[in-house]
């Protein structure tokens, strides 16, 4: 079956398959250079209340010599740390630096707020302010696993697009919190996606952006179901698969 609509390809934490570190400036620049439709990135708040683009709560996995939690360091301290990579030398970027890369593009920017402590440091307000400062509010989705974060974003700016991220099954706690949560997109684990879920999303007026779709068979299945977009570590593979299908549609 060929898709009747364009499925957006979002590079998960930037382009990483060529060896760039996740959530790095070279990886984000590659998203633009290689022509993907969007990007997914993670934002945390520092000790001095600045915004950094970094996935983990701790520094050990992703940096050469960083130790401890991101939120216990200042932006200046974090930017002295090198991200692990065998192909490029680069550091932990601020959200300002990352959005500078995308400000003259039409890419969909999916900003996931990482906030184990939702009320700490007014992260939601700071992210929204940064997005507006770069003039990217029309092409940004602010998403989170935490329904409280999503609700706070909506309260601050009801016009901002929001996404709720979840695993195949919602934990009971989140299920309670998420009850009645109205967002512009659902971001489920791809294993939870089927035609019925797409139908439900459509009925709720929501886009469906599953993550992290990396295998050819799973990309093909998402294409058959006709999701609105995929979040993937291999946007190059998704592009190849989806463009084949689009080509056969026009032949």
Positions marked catalytic: 12, 55
With beta carbons less than 8 A apart as the criterion, state whether 219 and 241 touch: yes
- Cα 119 from Cα 124, distance rounded (Å): 9
- Determine the distance from the C-alpha atom of residue 87 to the mean position of all C-alpha atoms in its chain, rounded to a whole number: 23
- Cα 119 from Cα 247, distance rounded (Å): 48
- Cα 191 from Cα 225, distance rounded (Å): 12
- Cα 178 from Cα 38, distance rounded (Å): 26
Q: What is the CA radius of gyration of the chain?
A: 18
Question: Is the C-alpha dihedral spanning 4, 144, 129, 67 positive or negative?
Answer: negative
CA distances (Å), origin 58, targets 76, 84, 97, 131: 16, 14, 21, 25
């Amino acid at each position: 079956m060929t898709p009747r609509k364009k499925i957006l390809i979002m590079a998960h934490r930037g382009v990483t398959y060529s060896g760039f570190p996740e959530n790095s400036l070279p990886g984000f620049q590659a998203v633009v250079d290689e022509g993907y439709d969007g990007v997914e990135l993670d934002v945390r708040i520092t000790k001095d209340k600045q915004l950094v683009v970094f996935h983990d709560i701790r520094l050990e996995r992703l940096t050469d010599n960083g130790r401890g939690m991101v939120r216990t360091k200042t932006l200046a301290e974090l930017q002295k740390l090198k991200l692990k990579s065998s192909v490029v030398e680069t550091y932990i970027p601020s959200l300002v630096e990352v959005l500078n890369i995308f400000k003259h593009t039409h890419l969909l920017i999916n900003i996931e707020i990482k906030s184990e402590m939702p009320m700490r440091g007014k992260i939601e307000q700071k992210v929204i302010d940064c997005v507006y400062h770069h003039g990217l509010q029309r092409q940004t989705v602010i998403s989170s696993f935490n329904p409280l974060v999503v609700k706070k974003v909506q309260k601050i700016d009801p016009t901002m697009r929001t996404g709720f991220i979840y695993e195949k099954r919602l934990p009971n706690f989140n299920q309670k919190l998420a009850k009645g949560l109205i967002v512009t997109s659902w971001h489920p684990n791809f294993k939870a996606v089927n035609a019925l879920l797409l139908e439900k999303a459509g009925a709720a007026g929501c886009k469906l952006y599953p993550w992290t779709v990396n295998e050819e068979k799973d990309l093909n299945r998402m294409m058959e179901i006709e999701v609105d977009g995929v979040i993937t570590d291999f946007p190059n593979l998704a592009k190849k698969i989806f463009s084949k299908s689009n080509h056969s549609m026009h032949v």
